[in-house]
Amino acid sequence: MQRRFLPLILILSTLWVACAPAPNALQGTPNGSLQANSASTPDARFYDTALDAYRWVQLDARNWDFAARLAKVEGTMVDEQGRSFEWKFYFTAPGKQKALLVTSRREKREVNNIYFGMIFDSSWRIDSDKALTQAKEHGLKRFPVWSMEIRDIGRDWEISSSEGRFRVDLSSGQVSKQ
């Protein structure tokens, strides 16, 4: 009786292997789920500019609270193209005692809200790459820069480097060196 089922088992196993996806088409994630291996997925986008990363994280902030507003942006070790391994975005919302931290790596958690009332217009025009280009024209030469931040009802990128501090206006791109 077992000999009769052997050909059927071989046919079914061959069909199973033939219909399985190619090994590089899917990759496992730490939580065991499968995810398409594509540069367009948020988890694969570790080296974005601040504005590119913001487009992903603002969705998480809206899920936390629809009235969430951006209070601070920070990135460390930012390369010459304005990309950081991890951008951090802090959001506040009316009536919330905590702020929400969302990273470009899609990690999120509530943190102490030290940003009460400190919300800036999140429709800034000068992205991190453009800010660094402007700072290079005013003397910035060494990369990566230590940090880039927008904070405290900020209207400027604050760039800290081994060559000093630079401020780049978020809307005009004007640079001042401190």
User: Using one digit for the tens of pLDDT, what is the confidence trace for 120-158?
Assistant: 666 678 999 999 999 999 999 999 999 999 976 668 999
Whether omega before 144 lies within 30 degrees of 0, making that bond cis, reads yes
Q: For residue 88, what are the CA distances in angstroms to 56, 58, 78, 93, 153?
A: 12, 11, 12, 17, 16
In the chain, % of residues over pLDDT 70: 68
Query: Around Cβ 4, how many Cβ atoms within 10 Å?
Result: 7
The whole-model pTM stands at 0.72
Taking the C-alpha atoms of residue 59 and residue 106, their distance in angstroms, rounded to an integer, is: 10
Q: Where are the domains of the chain?
A: 47-177
How many angstroms separate the CA atoms of 120 and 113, rounded? 15
